[in-house]
Amino acid sequence: MDGSIYLADAIRRFRETRSQCEGAFGQVPFEGWNRRLDPGCNSIVTLMLHLSGNLLSRWTDFLTSDGEKPGRDRDAEFEDPGGLGREALLDRWGRGWSCLFQTLEGLTEADLDRTVLIRAQPHSVVEAINRQLTHYAYHAGQMVFLAKHLAGASWRTLSVPRGRSAALNAAMAQRLPPSRAKLLTDLPNIGKAIAGDLRSIGIHAPSQLAERDPLAVFQELARVMGHRHDPCVFYTLLSVKHFLDGGAAMPWWKFTAEGKQRLARE
C-alpha cells in the first residue's frame, strides 16, 4: 500500500471527526456546555477537555517520546473546572488539533515503519494513528448525541437527513468522475447558483477550478461581486478541489473544520 495515501486519508478522517464535533457543540449555547445528562455522563466541556488533553499528549514529540506525557492530568479532564471561559476552552481545543495535524503532515512513508510508545507499550506508527482515530471518533459520537439532545428542535443534522438517502444516492450516482466532468454542475456540491458566481470571475470549466487554490477563488468572488460569500461557499470549493485532486465526492460540510482553520489564518 502507498503510505502517502494512508497518511492523507488518516488526516482527512481526523478532519472529519473534528468537523463533526464542532458542528455539534456549535449548535448549543455556551451555557449548556456544562450540562450532563446524569452525574456519570460527560458534558461537552468534559469531552473537549479530554480530547484536547489527549491530543496534546499523544501528538507532541510523537515519534520520540511516550504518548502519555508526565505532565498530563487525565483525571482532571473529567472534572469541569469553574470559571473556564469559552475562548480559553476553544483555544485549548484548537491547540490540540493543531498539534495533531502538524505532526501528521510532517510524517513520511518511512515513519510508518517506526515504533512509538503509549503508556510504555510499543505500537507501530500505523497502530498508534488508528488507535487515536477510533478513540476520537468514539468521543465525537458522544458529543453529537449530547449536543442533539441539548439543541432540541433547533438541531441541524450533520449527516444525511432522514428520508433523503435515496435522493442523495441518486444524485451522487449522477456525478461524473473528474476526468469526465465537463460542466461546473457536474462537480459535487456545485449547483446553478455557485456555478453562475464562478462564471462571473471567468471560471467556466472544472479544469479551471482544478488549477486554482480554493481560498484564492473565494477571495476573488468577494472582490468581483462586492461582498463576501457565506463561508459554506469556501467549504464547497474545498470539497470540489478534493474531488478534482482524486478524492471521493463528499458533502461540503465535511470540510468545515479545514475551512475554518484556513479562514482564521487570513
41 Cβ contact partners less than 8 Å away, ≥ 6 residues apart: 146
pTM of the model: 0.67
Given this model, what pLDDT does residue 36 score?
Answer: 94
Given this model, what pLDDT does residue 157 score?
Answer: 84
CA dihedral 147, 72, 113, 130 (to 10 degrees): -20
Packing angle of the helix pair 214-225, 192-200 (nearest 10 deg): 80
The residue count for the chain: 266
Given this model, what pLDDT does residue 172 score?
Answer: 63
Given this model, what pLDDT does residue 81 score?
Answer: 85
Q: C-alpha grid cell for residue 154? A: 433547533
Given this model, what pLDDT does residue 229 score?
Answer: 78
CATH number attached to the domain at 3-154: 1.20.120.450
d(CA 193, CA 182): 17
Domain boundaries, the chain: 3-154, 165-264
Given this model, what pLDDT does residue 136 score?
Answer: 98
CATH number attached to the domain at 165-264: 1.10.150.20
| Residue type (1 letter), 43 | S
Given this model, what pLDDT does residue 163 score?
Answer: 81
- Cβ contact 244:209 at 8 Å: yes
Given this model, what pLDDT does residue 251 score?
Answer: 86
Question: What 3-state DSSP class applies to 117?
Answer: strand
Given this model, what pLDDT does residue 98 score?
Answer: 95
- Give the CB-side neighbour count of residue 162, counting CA atoms within 13 A: 1
- Cβ contact 37:149 at 8 Å: yes
- Cβ contact 150:28 at 8 Å: yes
d(CA 151, CA 132): 28
- DSSP lists the bridge partners of residue 123 as 116
Q: For residues 46-73, b (16+ Cβ closer than 10 Å) or e, as one string?
A: bbbbbbbbbbbbbbbebeeeebeeeebe
The values of phi and psi at residue 21, to 5°, are: -60, -50
Q: What does each of the 266 residues of the chain score in pLDDT, given as a tens digit? A: 578 889 988 998 998 899 889 989 999 999 999 999 998 999 999 999 999 999 999 999 999 999 999 999 999 999 888 788 999 999 999 999 999 999 999 999 999 999 999 999 999 999 999 999 999 999 999 999 999 999 999 888 887 777 877 766 766 665 556 667 788 888 888 888 888 889 989 999 888 888 889 999 999 998 888 877 788 889 999 999 988 888 888 888 888 888 888 888 77
